[in-house]
Amino acid sequence: MGNHKKETERYSRHILLKEIGEEGQVKLSKSSVVIIGCGALGNTIANNLVRAGIGEIKIIDRDIIEMNNLQRQILFDEEDLGLPKAWAAVKKLQKVNSKIKIKAVVEDLNNTNIEGIIKGADLVIDGTDNMETRFLINDACIKHKIPWIYGGAIGTHGMSMSIIPNNTPCFRCVFQVLPEPGVLPTCDISGVLNTIPSIIASIESTEALKILLGKSINNNLLIYDVWAHDFQSVKIKKNNECECCVKHNFEFLNAEKKTRITLLCGENAVQITPTKTGILSFESLAQKLQKSGNVKMSRIILRFTVDSYQINIFKSGRAIVYGTNDEKTAKSLYAKYVGL
């Protein structure tokens, strides 16, 4: 069988659909998508889009795989524990489809790097777990006129909405201000049923295909509770005073750039992202740290264990401190062992 024939065979069930067809499949193979977040939503989105034959996919995620992720994150297994999520996902997905480009970005997405990461993409999809990142994605996508799809899942329900710059209402037309910390439920305290992220992610993936194929989309805010079997589609009106899509005041994108300390959702862990990032020398850092605790090192992570803490340090200088959810403790451990 020729190469072309094999690839046609791979997508034959999509080609048979009138919604996609041969022409649509070619379009998809020339499209590029950025998936932000590779947790439960991102896993299913990446799985769907890789199998659908999107030509270029970038997956960005800052976390490493934990035991409590296996309940719902379909791309990972027990052997992946401790590996960076984006990296493990790409390794798995490249085996599913070796004919497309898939790239892992093991980084914290923030206002210093988002524009570079989404540049040139046809579409951005939300697989994150926090509102702040969504406000940032909205700013960057409206500014660069890239369509994006919001999705979130918690408890037994989830939401999704497609945003096309200059065409539909934006995320800030719906959620005007960032809620105070502690107001919104997080998966830390609420838990999440393992069927809802894959449903929401599949809705997001379907909208993604429609946008990439140039089909008309429904830009209502969709809310689905899988336990109650309750489906709502809410019409959203453009806010004529919207800070983002009307006034082009990109507050989240233009925020002051400072060392960010973030509590990680669902983990007893804190992430430290220094302002100045560069390339750390793991060898010299390991030499220094060996005197105070246990050091394990791979190409991508240096893992340092001291007392009851485990500090995972990435090449860029970013670190995830496990064993505490106190920001001050994490910051002082980082300052002591890595240096701010």
**What DSSP assignment string belongs to 169-190?**
--HHHHS-SPPPTTTS--HHHH
Query: Please, which residue, 161 or 193, has the CB nearer to Zn ion?
Result: 161
The only residue of 20, 123, 208, 245 in contact with Zn ion, by rule CB under 5 A: 245
Catalytic one among 38, 173, 187, 242?
Answer: 187
173 catalytic, yes or no?
no
Closest distance of CB 256 from Zn ion, Å: 23
Question: How far is it, in rounded angstroms, from Cα 15 to Cα 181?
Answer: 46
The only residue of 242, 253, 270, 320 in contact with Zn ion, by rule CB under 5 A: 242
Task: Give the binding range for Zn ion (CB under 5 A) out of 39-47, 56-64, 124-132, 241-249.
Answer: 241-249
The dihedral sign for the CA sequence 292, 294, 295, 301: negative
Asked if residue 320 binds Zn ion (CB under 5 A), the reply is: no
- Contact map string, positions 53 to 92, toward Zn ion, x by CB under 5 A: ----------------------------------------
Closest distance of CB 144 from Zn ion, Å: 15
C-alpha angle with apex 121: 120 to 125, nearest 5 degrees?
Answer: 155
Using CB atoms within 10 A of its CB, is residue 25 exposed (0-12), middle (13-18) or buried (19+)? Answer: buried
Question: How far is it, in rounded angstroms, from Cα 254 to Cα 264?
Answer: 23
Closest distance of CB 171 from Zn ion, Å: 7
Per residue, the 3-state secondary structure of 85-117, as one string, reads HHHHHHHHHHHHCCCCEEEEECCCCCCCCHHHH
Calculate the dihedral angle through the C-alpha atoms of 111, 129, 107, 110, rounding to the nearest 10 degrees.
10
- Contact map string, positions 141 to 180, toward Zn ion, x by CB under 5 A: -----------------------------x-xx-------
Task: Give the binding range for Zn ion (CB under 5 A) out of 26-34, 101-109, 245-253, 311-319.
Answer: 245-253
Can you read off the two tokens belonging to residue 299? 């190409």
As annotated, the active-site residues are: 187
Query: What residues make contact with Zn ion under the rule CB under 5 A?
Result: 170, 172-173, 242, 244-245
